[in-house]
Amino acid sequence: MISAQSIWKDVVKIREQSPLVHNITNFVVMNNTANALLAIGASPVMAHAEEEAEDMAGIAASLVINIGTLSPPWVRGMKKAMMKAASRGIPLVFDPVGAGATPYRTQTVKELFVAALPLIIRGNASEISALVNAAGNTKGVDSTQSSASAVNAAETLSGLYKAVVSLNGETDYIVKGKEHILIHNGHALMPKVTGLGCTATALTGAFAAVNSDYYAAASHAMAVMGIAGEIAARTAKGPGSFQTDFLDALYNLKESDIAELLHTGEEK
C-alpha cells in the first residue's frame, strides 16, 4: 500500500539524485514534460535521432517513450533507445498516445514491443484497450469508456507483458497482474490542459528511476500528479493559469501536502 511517507521518500530521492530521464516524446508536450521533470527535481533530456538515441539511453537513469506525433525516423530512434534501456535494465515507461486512432499508431506500438517490452505502460482507457486489441485480444472494447471499464483490459495487458499498467482517468488504476492501487486525486481542469497525461508518463519515469518497485513508483507518480493538480486548482482561474500553478505546486510540494490530500485505495 502506498502512503504519504512512501511517496515523500521517492520525492526526496528525486530531488537529491536528480536522475537523468531520457524522453523521446511528442512535439506538443516536450516543453511541459521537461518543465515538470525539472520542477519535481529530475534532469530531463530530449534526444530522438537514431544517430544518438542509443548513446543517450546509455547514460540515462530511465527512458520515457511517447508516440504522440510519431513518424518513421522517430520510431527508429525509439527502437534503438528501447533496446538499449532493456539491455541496461533501466526502467522503460511507455505512453501509447492515440493508440487505436489510426492503424499506423497501433502498428507502431506492436513493432516497438518486438524491440523491447516496457516495464510500465501509462495511458487512458481508450489507449489501454487499443493495446489489448492490438495484441490480438479483440474483445471489442468501446473507445469512449471510463477508466473503470478498462480495468479488465489493463489486467490483461499487465499479464501479457509482465508490465505495470497505469490506467488514468477520473480515478487512476495502477494495475499489476490482478492487483490494483486506486488514486482518487486530481481535478476537473486537468483534461482541459494538453499534455498532462504525457507529463504523468514523464513523472512516472522520474519515480521509476529512484524506486525499483515499479508498481509503487507508478502509483507515487500518479498520486503526485493528482495532488499537485488539486493544489494548483486552489488558485487557478482556468486552464492557462492552471499550468503555471501546477508547475509551482510540483516544485513546492511538501510531505504535509501529500499527507493532507492523498486519497487512495487498494483492490485485489
CB of 209 to a copy of itself, least distance (A): 17
Could you tell me if 95 and 65 are in contact, meaning their C-beta atoms sit under 8 angstroms apart?
A: yes
Applying CB under 8 A, among 217, 223, 247, 262 the residue interacting with a copy of itself is 247
Which lies closer to a copy of itself via its Cβ, residue 213 or residue 255? 255
Nearest to 36 by CA among 214, 202, 218: 202
Applying CB under 8 A, among 48, 122, 176, 187 the residue interacting with a copy of itself is 48
Q: Which stretch of DSSP H or E encloses residue 174?
A: strand 172-176
The yes or no reply on residue 234 touching a copy of itself (CB under 8 A) is no
Could you tell me if 144 and 137 are in contact, meaning their C-beta atoms sit under 8 angstroms apart?
A: no
The yes or no reply on residue 126 touching a copy of itself (CB under 8 A) is no
In angstroms, the CA 61 to CA 88 distance is 10
Q: In the chain, where does DSSP find H-type helix?
A: 4-17, 30-40, 53-59, 72-88, 103-115, 125-134, 151-161, 196-210, 214-235, 239-252, 255-261
Which lies closer to a copy of itself via its Cβ, residue 44 or residue 118? 44
The yes or no reply on residue 71 touching a copy of itself (CB under 8 A) is yes
The yes or no reply on residue 245 touching a copy of itself (CB under 8 A) is yes
In angstroms, the CA 127 to CA 58 distance is 29
Nearest to 205 by CA among 8, 69, 34: 34
Taking CB under 8 A as the binding criterion, the range among 33-41, 171-179, 180-188, 212-220 that sits at the site for a copy of itself is 33-41
Q: Is 143 helix (H, G, I), strand (E, B) or coil?
A: coil
Taking CB under 8 A as the binding criterion, the range among 37-45, 130-138, 218-226, 260-268 that sits at the site for a copy of itself is 37-45
Judged by CB under 8 A, the chain residues 159 through 218 that form the site for a copy of itself are 191-195
The yes or no reply on residue 256 touching a copy of itself (CB under 8 A) is no
Q: Residues binding a copy of itself: what is the number (CB under 8 A)? A: 55
Point out which residues bind a copy of itself (CB under 8 A): 26-32, 34-35, 38-39, 44-49, 51-52, 55-56, 59, 68-73, 98, 101-105, 191-195, 236-241, 243-252
